[in-house]
Chain A
Amino acid sequence: MYLATTDAVATAAKRGRTRRRRTRGRVTGPVLALGAVSLVTDISSEMVAAVLPLYFVLGLGLSPLAFGFLDGLYNGATAVVRLLGGYAADRGGRHKLVAGSGYLLSALSRLGLLLAGGATAGIGAAIAADRLGKGVRTAPRDALISLSSPPDGLGRAFGVHRAMDTTGALLGPLAAFALLWITADAYDVVFVVSFCFGLFGVLLLVAFVPGREARPAPPAAPAPPASRPGPLARPRPRPRKALTLLRVPAFRRVCAAAALLGAATVGDAFLYLLLQRRLDFAESWFPLLPLGTAAVYLLLAVPAGRLADRVGRRVPFLAGHGALLAAYLLLLLPTGGRPLLVGVLLALGVFYATTDGVLMALATPCLPAERRASGMAVLQTGQALSRLVAAAGFGAAWTLWGVGAALACAVLALTVAVAGATVLLRPAERPPVAGPPRERPDSAGPPAPTAPAKPPEGTA
């Protein structure tokens, strides 16, 4: 349904307005600014993430158990915070303010690490502040990207942003290890430099990302009626009602597809571990595996986004999960050596490049501008939670039945999920229904999993 809508907008844009055709080839200033902010911030945060276990165990002599506990503790909390961040941003369109607070909080958490010294409680608080900041800023930032881009250039805008973001994530650990090298393990230097990068990111945001008043209305024509049905046409988002967005049929389908596919995404850690077991290469190479994936992601994010804009976003999104399926199959087949290594890393990189930013571009047209951050938060949270379920399920299958059977299950689950998502995301043939959503015009469709809606309900 929303795909038909998107295509209609794109055609209209091409047909009517020559002024915009000129800008179509370029990514707007705010998107580049947000990309730069993410690049710098990712350098800052990945620097710390790379050295934190070392600092904890070798620098402070604390138990790795305590670190594992601290690290795992706050990952669950980000889901709640993300929903709150999305909601807060939508209230009065304060995306810049909310995202900026998130960036600032994460930057200040580096000073917290510095000042905490060896105190576990202080370090825990600093890690919590960092996660809090990350949770708060993600949805408003993605909403800002979507609000600052023409509808026919959303895929490319998100692609550019994700490429810049990944560049930062690649550079961060390199910078941190270089600093430890030249200073003979002075962890405080890493924290100070990370703080400087983090603060610079906040300044970039303040200076170059337009706020509520300055932001021009999205260059597209006002959102088509299909994307703002019934109750959502009301301008003010109501508190604790972020989940009512799931009543929008098109958005519900995107969420269902993302959650369904997420529930068959077993997680990189497993795949790297399987790779390592299969290849038996030098252990010192192990930490470099994610860098290989990130490099592919970085190179393909923009082309994938452009492709998504041209052929419709569902195509690369589904094909990307096909690449993930290929990675599973490669690990299941008796291939070995370099083809296996290159194949899996390539497939994972393609998977991220064609799904991460593209999903946001896919969801944008079904979300009214004034509820966009909330919607993206709901979508991202649902996806994250279903991936957690997938990881736990895969771990259990591995324990019970062994590696081969667990992988076979994953292949089967992902095949079913891709088929289901293809049906869910099929282009609608009838004209969009503008009536109130209570009629459930799509009740004939496949049953939508309600999983993503459940966990946030009590907390949103």
Chain B
Amino acid sequence: MTLTPPEASTRLRVIAVVAAAALLAAVAVTYTVRAVQRAEPASSSSEFALDRGHLYFRSTQEGAGRVARVPMTGTSTSTSTSTSTSHRTPNGPSCERFYAAGGTALCLLRRPGIPPKSYAVVLDERLREKRRVALTGIPNRARVSASGRMLSWTMFTTGDSYAGGGSSFSTRTSILDTRTGYLIKNMEEIPLTVDGRRYHSPDVNYWGVTFARDDNRFYATVSTKGRTYLVEGDMRKWSARALRQNAECPSLSPDNTRIAFKKRVRGGTKDPWRLYVLDLRTMREHPLAEHRNVDDQAAWLDDKTLAYALPGRDGGGTRKPDIWTVRADGTGHPELRVPGGSSPAAVR
């Protein structure tokens, strides 16, 4: 470098850097343009409505990123996977997470932009938009009460964790009463009782709400100081109490007697969760026949069957999730119900 005269060497370096910059810019632009051409135009109008007897889900195959449905013929174990694929109706609303019950659907979606925005969209029985709530974070859980009145969703936000330690995310869970229109943006201020005592901590995070048939009682997960608790909440009294430890993402059965949940069976991040069912009368739990790691809020298809999403088995770059079902009594074995889908919701 120092052997050539400084001016010539400088000019040479400028030329080399400009040439390299042009090459790199060409690579970046070409790659981007090809991706733009690949991208499908977004459309959010639905080609079908909420009808009884269908299993709704977010599709990752045909019409990827949009809700699709299959008929719920013979709900529990008799459906063969090949027929359910062929009966798929694509092109519902575009959502990241979806749930529906009692003539109301909840769609969590992201709209690109600077910065990208997230919304919770309330849809009626024709799957038309009724209300839209602007949110922060990454959509994670969505639930609608059996009557369609109470809605709840959970978002993950990164970067505002103040608890220190290993985790750098926190959750925000909202509850919307569609009858009164009252919205609780962040439920973490709810008075909480743990072990009979009023509990205070700024690091509480709630997620995974599930409502009872009376539209007043609900269950959720609260996490604080590295522990998770299953809490039972009361909308009218606006209070919550911890029932037990280590039960995340509760899902109340249609008959309101049992809760399906994911239980942490080992520490760390390698396959930590298994699906369990808790009997609310005896407070006894039993594991389900699904032995793989499940990170989802399970959905009851009926009082006997649970549906949940699992990452696809291809192991390559895509990992498109599939919807599996398993019996709630712990017998049988898991069955692949919908290949290329997530966010299952049975409309009964």
Q: A: which residues have CB within 8 A of B?
A: 53-54, 57-58, 60-73, 117-120, 173-174, 177-186, 188-189, 192-193, 196-197, 199-200, 203-204, 207-208, 211, 213-214, 267, 269-270, 272-273, 276, 282-284, 286-288, 388, 391-392, 394-395, 398-399, 402-403
Identify A183's interface contact among B39, B156, B200, B317, CB under 8 A: B39
- Give the docked Cα–Cα distance between A208 and B39 (Å): 39
16 contacts between A and B (CB under 8 A): A53-B158, A57-B156, A61-B342, A64-B156, A117-B318, A118-B315, A173-B115, A181-B114, A193-B32, A203-B20, A284-B136, A392-B164, A395-B164, A395-B203, A399-B202, A402-B200
In the complex, the answer to whether B168 meets A273 with C-beta atoms within 8 Å is no
Q: B: which residues have CB within 8 A of A?
A: 1-2, 13-14, 16-17, 20-21, 24-25, 27-28, 31-32, 35-36, 38-40, 42, 96, 110, 112-118, 134-136, 138-140, 156-169, 172, 185, 200-203, 268-269, 272, 295, 309, 311, 315-319, 321, 342
Which residues of chain A are near B35, meaning CB under 8 Å?
183, 186, 188-189
- Give the docked Cα–Cα distance between A392 and B140 (Å): 28
In the complex, the answer to whether B169 meets A54 with C-beta atoms within 8 Å is no
Chain A interface, >50% SS class = helix
In the complex, the answer to whether A207 meets B135 with C-beta atoms within 8 Å is no
Q: Which chain A residue has the least Cβ–Cβ distance from B119?
A: A284
- Give the docked Cα–Cα distance between A73 and B269 (Å): 12
In the complex, the answer to whether A398 meets B13 with C-beta atoms within 8 Å is no
Q: Which chain A residue has the least Cβ–Cβ distance from B40?
A: A184
**Most chain-B Cβ atoms within 10 A of its Cβ — which of A196, A213, A403?**
A196
- Give the docked Cα–Cα distance between A200 and B169 (Å): 32
In the complex, the answer to whether B160 meets A67 with C-beta atoms within 8 Å is no
Identify A269's interface contact among B162, B167, B321, CB under 8 A: B162
Which residues of chain A are near B317, meaning CB under 8 Å?
117-118
- Give the docked Cα–Cα distance between A402 and B135 (Å): 27
In the complex, the answer to whether B16 meets A65 with C-beta atoms within 8 Å is no
Which residues of chain A are near B200, meaning CB under 8 Å?
399, 402
Which residues of chain B are near A61, meaning CB under 8 Å?
309, 311, 319, 321, 342
Would A287 and B202 be within 8 Å (CB), given that A68-B169, A183-B39, A270-B162 are in contact?
A: no
In order of increasing CB-CB distance, the 10 nearest A-B pairs are A117-B317, A184-B39, A68-B167, A181-B112, A283-B136, A118-B319, A183-B35, A186-B35, A72-B166, A196-B24
In the complex, the answer to whether A66 meets B32 with C-beta atoms within 8 Å is no
B245 to chain A, nearest CB (A): 17
B242 to chain A, nearest CB (A): 17
Would A283 and B203 be within 8 Å (CB), given that A185-B112, A200-B24 are in contact?
A: no
Would A177 and B113 be within 8 Å (CB), given that A184-B40, A184-B42, A284-B135 are in contact?
A: yes
In the complex, the answer to whether A192 meets B28 with C-beta atoms within 8 Å is yes
Which residues of chain B are near A402, meaning CB under 8 Å?
200
In the complex, the answer to whether B162 meets A398 with C-beta atoms within 8 Å is yes
Q: Which chain A residue has the least Cβ–Cβ distance from B38?
A: A186
Would A183 and B342 be within 8 Å (CB), given that A65-B167, A72-B167, A269-B159 are in contact?
A: no
- Give the docked Cα–Cα distance between A330 and B25 (Å): 46
- Give the docked Cα–Cα distance between A173 and B115 (Å): 8
In the complex, the answer to whether A68 meets B114 with C-beta atoms within 8 Å is no
- Give the docked Cα–Cα distance between A189 and B31 (Å): 7
In the complex, the answer to whether B185 meets A283 with C-beta atoms within 8 Å is yes
In the complex, the answer to whether B169 meets A174 with C-beta atoms within 8 Å is no
In the complex, the answer to whether B160 meets A200 with C-beta atoms within 8 Å is no
Which residues of chain A are near B1, meaning CB under 8 Å?
211, 213-214
Q: Which chain B residue has the least Cβ–Cβ distance from A267?
A: B162
Identify A196's interface contact among B14, B28, B162, CB under 8 A: B28
Would A71 and B319 be within 8 Å (CB), given that A57-B156, A182-B32, A204-B17 are in contact?
A: no
In the complex, the answer to whether B138 meets A53 with C-beta atoms within 8 Å is yes
A119 to chain B, nearest CB (A): 7
Extra 10 A-B pairs, beta carbons < 8 Å, given A58-B139, A71-B158: A57-B156, A64-B169, A65-B169, A68-B166, A181-B114, A270-B162, A273-B160, A283-B136, A288-B115, A398-B202
**Most chain-B Cβ atoms within 10 A of its Cβ — which of A173, A174, A284?**
A284
Would A200 and B21 be within 8 Å (CB), given that A60-B319, A68-B168, A269-B160 are in contact?
A: yes
- Give the docked Cα–Cα distance between A60 and B162 (Å): 26
Q: Which chain B residue has the least Cβ–Cβ distance from A285?
A: B136
Which residues of chain B are near A53, meaning CB under 8 Å?
138, 156, 158, 169
In the complex, the answer to whether A184 meets B112 with C-beta atoms within 8 Å is yes
- Give the docked Cα–Cα distance between A250 and B172 (Å): 48
Q: Which chain A residue has the least Cβ–Cβ distance from B97?
A: A58
- Give the docked Cα–Cα distance between A174 and B113 (Å): 9
A277 to chain B, nearest CB (A): 10
- Give the docked Cα–Cα distance between A181 and B36 (Å): 9
Which residues of chain B are near A388, meaning CB under 8 Å?
164
In the complex, the answer to whether A208 meets B36 with C-beta atoms within 8 Å is no
Which residues of chain A are near B201, meaning CB under 8 Å?
399
- Give the docked Cα–Cα distance between A61 and B309 (Å): 10
In the complex, the answer to whether A174 meets B114 with C-beta atoms within 8 Å is yes
Would A403 and B17 be within 8 Å (CB), given that A58-B138, A269-B160 are in contact?
A: no
In the complex, the answer to whether B20 meets A200 with C-beta atoms within 8 Å is yes
Q: Which chain B residue has the least Cβ–Cβ distance from A173?
A: B115
